[in-house]
Amino acid sequence: MRKSPFEAVKVERPSEAVLLVTLDRPAAANAMNTRMGEELLEIFGNLAVQPEDCRAVVVTGAGDRAFCAGADLKERRGMSDAHWQAQHLVFERMIRALIDCPVPVIAAVNGAAYAGGCEIALGCDFIYAARGTRFALTEVTIGIMPGAGGTQNLPRAVGERRAKEIILTGRPFSAEEALQWGMVNQLCGPGRVAAEAIETARAIAANAPVSVRQAKRAIHHGLGLSLADAMVLEIEAYNRTVPTEDRREGILAFNEKRKPVFKGR
């Protein structure tokens, strides 16, 4: 991870193995400008080649008003078609890097998550949300459509028919509805969402890193395969855990009735 500070995001380590990434433009409801897209791409691109840098990631927004209001439309005002598409390419690469991140990523949605902000949350492995939070994919109301995974990740979370209703109307929905539909994993009290997501991230980080990364890979990619092909993928992933030091440490610790000390190798 870079040593110099980012401009549009803040990166912290609440513990050695957990990375906390905060979308940090509170005056703009944490709306995503080009710089934020570039910085998120750098963070998750680096984790793709250095997954040992941490064992779990939490993504949240600065303040308590918004997780992310989507793309910064003030920055986009007057953009040429070519400039718009060039900027969106940054966002496309960013969301793919987030989705493909080998390390588990938890969204801690602390406020409104609209448009691209909702897509960032959906790109994470699962979502914790503050009670009363609102989500929306509003792109069709301004003449575009979701273009950062929304039309793909949302139906995988809530089903095709519900996703069509959400995307084609552009209407907001609550965290409570998102929980009921299977998009959100857990609702949190006021000011608690980041802390509870970090607690879960620490629980993940305490497990064997290679095992966690391979299990995530098998789940994510297996869903796009037939059951037979997915079972083959699962065994390939499983077999990568067998020759690891962590597998031997895990069995030894179990038999010695102590907590294992995993090293990620």
Catalytic residues: 119, 139
Report the C-alpha gap between 13 and 26 in whole angstroms.
20
| Number of helices (H), then strands (E), in the chain | 11, 10
Amino acid code (one letter) for 165: E
| 8-state DSSP, 226 | -
Report the C-alpha gap between 125 and 108 in whole angstroms.
11
CB 72 within 8 A of CB 100: no
| Beta-strand relationship, 126-130 and 105-109 | parallel
Q: Is 54 left (phi over 0), alpha (psi -120 to 50) or beta?
A: beta
| Beta-strand relationship, 9-15 and 18-23 | antiparallel
- What φ, ψ does residue 19 adopt, rounded to 5°? -105, 130
How far CA 205 is from CA of 117, 120, 229, in Å, comes to: 25, 22, 29
Report the C-alpha gap between 172 and 182 in whole angstroms.
16
